[in-house]
Amino acid sequence: MNTSHAFNAFTALSARETGKFLRQKGRLFSALVRPALWLLVFAAGFQNVFGVAVIPPYESYIEYNVYITPGLLCMVMLFNGMQSSLTMVYDREVGVMRLLLTAPLPRWYILFCKLMAGTLLSLLQVYAFLVICWLFDVDIPLMGVLTALPAFILSALMLGSLGLLLSVSVKQLENFAGMMNFVIFPMFFISPALYPLWKLEESGAEIVYQVAQYNPFTYAVELVRFALYGQLSLTALAVVFGSFIFFFVLAVIGYDPQKGVITRRKG
C-alpha cells in the first residue's frame, strides 16, 4: 500500500464526510439538543439517585448533572456512530460503496478511513457539547478534556465499528432506523449512563444489572467517566478496545465481495 495513496484516501473520505455533515446543519443541531435536554430536564424529574432528592436541594441537581455528563457524551458518540453507518447503507444503495471497495487499497483500510471520518465528527460534537455543559455550570475539569481525548477516540471507534457491522446486514435504507431503535436505546438505558449500576442491583433489578455487565456501552461510559478525572479503568479499556477490534473485523469480513453484502445483493 503506497503511503501517499493511503493518505489521499483518508483525507478524501474525511473531507467528504465532514462536508456532508456541515451541509446538514440540522444533524449538528439535533446532536447537541438531544443530550442538552437530558442534561437540563431529565435530572429535574429523576429522584433519589444518590439517596436524596435531586431537586431540592440545588446542589444535588448539579451533582447529578456532573454524574450523567460522561454518559451523555457517550450518547453523542453512539448516535453519531449509528448515523455514520446510515451513510454506508446509502452509499451502498447508490453504488458509491462498490466503487470505494474496488479502489486499489486494502478493503480494511477503506473501511477504517470511513470509521476514522465518523470518529472525527464524533469528537467535534463531543467537544461542542462540553462547551454547553460549561455554560450550564457543569463542573468538568479543564484538564479532563485533554486526558479524556484518547477515551473519546477509542469509544467513538468502538461505537462506530458497531454501526459499521450493523450496516452489513441492512439491505435498505428504510430498515436501518428500526434497527437503530433496537440498538441505541437498550444500549443507552441498560448502562451506567443515567444511574449507578449498584442502584439497579440494590433495587432488585438483578437481570438488568447482569445484562449491563455485558453491554459494551457500559464500559465506554466508565472509560470516559474515569478519564475525565485523570484516571484509568483498565477493565473498561480492555473491553472497549477488544469490542472495537471484534466489531471491526466482523465488519471487514461482512464487506468482503466474496462472502459479504455485495454478493448477497447480487443473489
The whole-number pLDDT of residue 258 equals 61
Torsion of CA 32, 36, 38, 44, to 10 degrees: -170
pLDDT exceeds cutoff 60 at 169? yes
State the alpha helices, DSSP H only, in 136-260.
142-147, 149-169, 173-189, 197-203, 206-213, 216-227, 234-254
Kindly indicate the confidence band of residue 2, based on its pLDDT and cuts at 50, 70 and 90: low
Return the C-alpha cell found at 155. Answer: 469509544
215-224: per-residue pLDDT in tens?
A: 999 999 999 9
Answer with the residue of higher pLDDT: 120 or 171: 120
* pLDDT computed for residue 266 by the predictor: 46
What pLDDT is recorded for position 149? 95
* Rounded CA separation 65/82 (Å): 25
Residue 204 has pLDDT above 60, yes or no: yes
Of 106, 74, 92, nearest to 167 (Cα)?
92
User: What pTM value is reported for the model?
Assistant: 0.83
At 14, list the grid cell: 474525511
Query: What local confidence, expressed as pLDDT, does residue 1 receive?
Result: 63
Residue-range domain boundaries for the chain? 3-266
**More confident of the two residues 137 and 237:** 237
The CA-atom distances, in angstroms, between 150 and each of 155, 193, 257 are 8, 19, 33
Residues 43-77: tens digit of each pLDDT: 665 544 444 444 443 455 567 777 888 988 999 99
The reported pLDDT for the residue numbered 154 is 96
For residues 156-176, average pLDDT = 81
Q: Which of 9-13, 48-52, 139-143 has the highest mean pLDDT?
A: 139-143
- C-alpha distances (whole Å) from 225 to each of 221, 240, 241 are 6, 13, 16
Does an H or E element contain 127, and which?
A: helix 107-135
Work out the mean pLDDT of the chain and round it to a whole number: 79
- Residue with the larger pLDDT of the pair 162 and 99: 162
Return the pLDDT at 98: 67
Looking at 80-84, 93-97, 150-154, 258-262, which range is the least confident one?
A: 258-262
Q: What is the model's pLDDT at position 218?
A: 94
For 95-119, what is each residue's pLDDT tens digit? 666 666 666 778 788 888 888 888 9
- Residue 238 pLDDT > 80: yes
Which pLDDT does position 86 carry in this prediction?
75
Q: What is the DSSP letter of 255?
A: T
Judged against a pLDDT cut of 80, whether residue 251 lies above it is answered with yes
